[in-house]
Amino acid sequence: MDTMNASITRTDIASTNTGEPPGRPEHASRHRGDGESSTRRAMNRYQEQFRNFMDARGFHVTRKRMSIAALLFAMPGHHTVDELHDAVRKFRLDIGQATLYRTLKLLVEAGLVLELRLGDRASRFEAVIPQKSHDHLICQRCGAIMEIPRRVFEKLQTPLIRRRGFVLAARSQCLYGLCQDCREREPQGRAPR
């Protein structure tokens, strides 16, 4: 949880509203030269996509929901609900766990957050950031998550998808097995569960 994007501040997260994205006064220029960091611009786009998703479905766009979206964007990595709730408390945001769960579900539906299900372990959530797309190798024993650049799998999948005439709308690649550490601790001859 300590790995927060340094260019996103508590004010950016806590002051998120239902109108302008955080960190941008209403009168600010929308041009790249306005001094706004590329991370903040990306967060603004991320929140705008969530706002559009909510509007299209007739859901209320609330400060709490937008703060959760900003928080997830600012926390690189894979986080449990408990870790996210700890971050909410750290930032002194008045957001309950039920609101956090419901908002995570909406962010997953919007395609802005990936839920990684780890068998009997707690699910982990990660903001989907197109410029940093990757797939996951997940250890079924210890829950370790390793990221693999998406281009590795796309080279293999793209020709197959084209040959079948399939139009891809979204993708999530999670491969399950045993990591090297767990395999080395495994008695010889036993397959992963």
Q: How many domains does the chain have?
A: 2
pLDDT digits (tens, 9 = 90+) for 139-182: 888 878 887 777 777 788 888 888 988 887 666 677 888 889 99
Compute the Cα dihedral for 44, 45, 47, 51 and give only its sign.
positive
Domain that holds residue 13: 1-130
pLDDT at 17: 46
Question: Of 130, 155, 171, which marks where a domain is finished?
Answer: 130
Nearest partner of 107 among 150, 56, 72, judged by Cα: 72
Pairing mode, strands 174-177 and 113-116: unpaired
What CATH number should be reported for the domain holding residue 123?
Answer: 1.10.10.10
Assess whether 56 and 147 both reside in one domain: no
Assess whether 123 and 139 both reside in one domain: no
Assess whether 14 and 102 both reside in one domain: yes
Assess whether 116 and 48 both reside in one domain: yes
pLDDT digits (tens, 9 = 90+) for 81-93: 999 999 988 888 8
pLDDT digits (tens, 9 = 90+) for 51-83: 999 999 999 989 999 999 888 888 878 889 999
pTM: 0.64
